[in-house]
Structure 1
Amino acid sequence: MERIGQKIYDSSSWRKLRQAYMASQHGLCERCGYPGDVVHHIEPITADNVNDPFVTFGWDNLELLCHACHNQEHNKIHLPVRDGFSFDKFGNLIETREF
């Protein structure tokens, strides 16, 4: 089964936009400053907006992230953690409650 937006990610337009956006950020993650490798959609592509070019190809909807920050972004949305724990900027699970 094809994921939503796969045709966009497979297009030459996306590849060109991705490269241009990475260059505009000097290849650095916008959150931690480490080398970035994922051009992330701030507003995720969904079945409802997959045909909206402001979402899919909008420069203002993009963010360059390293793999760890990208995982952290998706983990906070999709994999909630127990109270007293969170993810650090590298995506590692850490204890945050004070004793």
Structure 2
Amino acid sequence: MELAKEYAREFYNSTLWKKCKSSYIKSVQGLCERCERPGYIVHHKKGLTPNNIKDPDITLNHNNLEYLCLDCHNAEHDFNREKRSATKKGYRFNDKGELVPST
């Protein structure tokens, strides 16, 4: 997983973020909000940029947060999955090794 961008490191190490993150995780009972497995990372729905990193409405707003497990977080940020996949998006191999539409 990619580490925090240089412009965001100070924010992610701040006491304000650590308190916000902790309270958010408690508010969702520590479960991934997509698959209900144990969560791993608090994801910002609207991503942090150098232009909004100091805006608490973006960085510390529970409405902009989502608690995700590692798999769901990686899927959220996996922009090149189709390029790396052995199959076209929307297809998979079944037990016989045949290429079939995903269900």
| TM > 0.5 | yes
Structure 2 residue 45 is the aligned partner of structure 1 residue 42: yes
What is the RMSD of the two structures over their aligned residues, measured on CA atoms?
2.0
Equivalent residues of 1:4, 1:45 under 8 A apart: no
- Unpaired segments ≥5 residues, structure 2: 94-99
Within-5 A mapping of 1:19-38:
19-38=22-41
1:3, 1:37 → 2: CA distance?
21
In the alignment, does 2:65 pair up with 1:62?
A: yes
Could you tell me which amino acid in structure 2 is paired with residue 4 of structure 1? Answer: Y
Q: Give the whole-Å Cα distance in 2 for the aligned partners of 1:47 and 1:13.
A: 18
* Runs of 4+, deviation exceeding 3 Å: none
Aligned residues: 88
Contact 1:27/1:36 (8 A) holds in 2: yes
1-structure distance, mates of 2:39, 2:71: 9
1:79 paired to 2:76: no
Residues in 2 aligned to 1:46 and 1:67: alpha-carbon distance in whole angstroms: 22
Q: Specify whether residues 95 and 4 from structure 1 end up closer, same or farther in structure 2 by C-alpha distance, changes over 3 A only.
A: farther
Which of 6, 10, 13 is residue 10 of structure 1 equivalent to? Answer: 13
Unaligned runs of 5+ in 1: 87-93
85, 92, 95: which is aligned to 1:95?
92
Normalised TM-score (structure 1):
0.78
Task: Report the Cα offset of residue 80 of structure 1.
Answer: 4.6
The two structures have a TM-score, normalised by structure 2, of 0.75
